Amino acid sequence: MDLTSVGLTLTTSALAVAAVVATVWLWPRLSARSWRAVTGRVGVLVLCQALTLAATGLGVNAYFAFYSSWGDLLGTDTGTAPITIAASGLRVLSSRTVPGGRIEQVILPGPTTRLSEEAYVFLPSAYFRDTTRRFPAILSLTGYPGDPRNLMTRLDLPGRMAKAIALHQVQPTILVMTRPSVVLPRDTECVDVPRGPRVQAYFADDVRRDMIEHYRAAEGRDSWGVLGGSTGGYCALKLAMSRPEAFSAAVSLSGYYKTIVDGTTGDLFRGDKGVEHRNDLMWRLANLPAPPVNVLVTSSRKGESNYDATERFLAAVKAPMRASSLILPSGGHNFNTWNRELPQALPWLAQQLTVP
């Protein structure tokens, strides 16, 4: 069975329950002081704990999508693939109707960066009623390593957008749902790596161009926003602040403000202090002209490690940049917290976008 299959999780959970029941049933027979009885007691206890841990681990992995396969879990899935661009450009892999519109699974090519990534595009019903109209668009990013399906299954961005449109809270808006890690397993932190993958340019230039040319997304900066959680939140802020000619607004859910460099990222700056500084959002606020963008940042007073940094970021923002905050009394770095913030955060972002 696949590592993330429901069948494997249910089977392992059933075996864990059966092991506990069997242990209770057999325990009187294992109460003797002989070495066989002692070995039996140790064996059934170890079996119960192993199955319980396995069932819990499989459930957590299926929910958060940490590992996608057995090879990924065991570290044996180390193969790579060349970066290729389909001759026909953007490719639609699947399409399905959902309440309020349609979701298409696509491959977004990057002709200028030579990168490409899978994404899911939500097209509101109005997109099909008016075939000459252009629409605002929101680029939505997961955390690292991330699975773009989580933006639908865990956060329900298409459902939330469809509901906001139906309630006339926002105008019909396209969603582009993907992950920031376009060269997995490496975490590039949306950096244009010197002599490496130009991830920031991929999102600001190639992805926008794909959507403008293939999906009638509006072209101007005022029609584009970006939203993300965790690493995606940092990327959302950085894209808006670094490329204000491409994005006019951003929402960062539990994002941070400086590039993380660790074993998953490798050397992102190659000794170039200028690149390092430009990817530090606090350095940008202190040393560069403020960009004309509007951002919303979220955190929690209890449970989020970015609370103090968020307060410093808000205090450092100066005109023409504008910043708002959504601070919960408590909430961890997880989907539950973001689901509490999105009913306000997603409409807020869509309301900042306009189409000439």
Write out pLDDT tens, residues 148-204.
999 999 999 999 999 999 999 999 999 999 999 999 999 999 999 999 999 999 999
Q: Which residue in 188, 192, 177, 181 sits closest to 139, CA to CA?
A: 177
- The yes-or-no verdict on residue 135 having pLDDT over 60 is yes
In the sheet where 101-110 sits, what is the strand order?
A: 91-98, 101-110, 115-124, 174-178, 137-141, 224-229, 249-253, 294-302, 322-330
Quick one: 201 and 249 in the same domain? yes
Tokens at 30, concatenated: 């294992």
Between 295 and 35, the higher pLDDT residue: 295
For the stretch 41-65, pLDDT in tens is 898 889 999 989 998 988 888 766 5
Q: Is residue 80 part of a domain?
A: no
The reported pLDDT for the residue numbered 85 is 41
For the stretch 264-279, pLDDT in tens is 999 999 999 999 999 9
Report the pLDDT averaged over residues 58-80.
66
Quick one: 272 and 176 in the same domain? yes
Q: Is residue 86 part of a domain?
A: no
For residue 75, what pLDDT band results from cuts at 50, 70 and 90?
low
Quick one: 133 and 60 in the same domain? no
Quick one: 55 and 131 in the same domain? no
Q: Is residue 260 part of a domain?
A: yes
Quick one: 261 and 337 in the same domain? yes
Q: Is residue 13 part of a domain?
A: yes
CA 143/CA 62 separation, integer angstroms: 16
Q: For residue 42, what are the domain limits?
A: 6-74
Q: Is residue 112 part of a domain?
A: yes
The reported pLDDT for the residue numbered 4 is 74
For the stretch 189-238, pLDDT in tens is 999 999 999 999 999 999 999 999 999 999 999 999 999 999 999 999 99
Quick one: 276 and 309 in the same domain? yes
Q: How many domains does the chain have?
A: 2
Q: Is residue 83 part of a domain?
A: no
Domain boundary among 49, 74, 99: 74
Tell me, what CATH number does 315's domain have? Answer: 3.40.50.1820
The reported pLDDT for the residue numbered 82 is 42
Quick one: 18 and 145 in the same domain? no
Domain boundary among 74, 109, 128: 74
The CA radius of gyration of the chain, in Å to the nearest whole number, is: 23
The reported pLDDT for the residue numbered 72 is 65
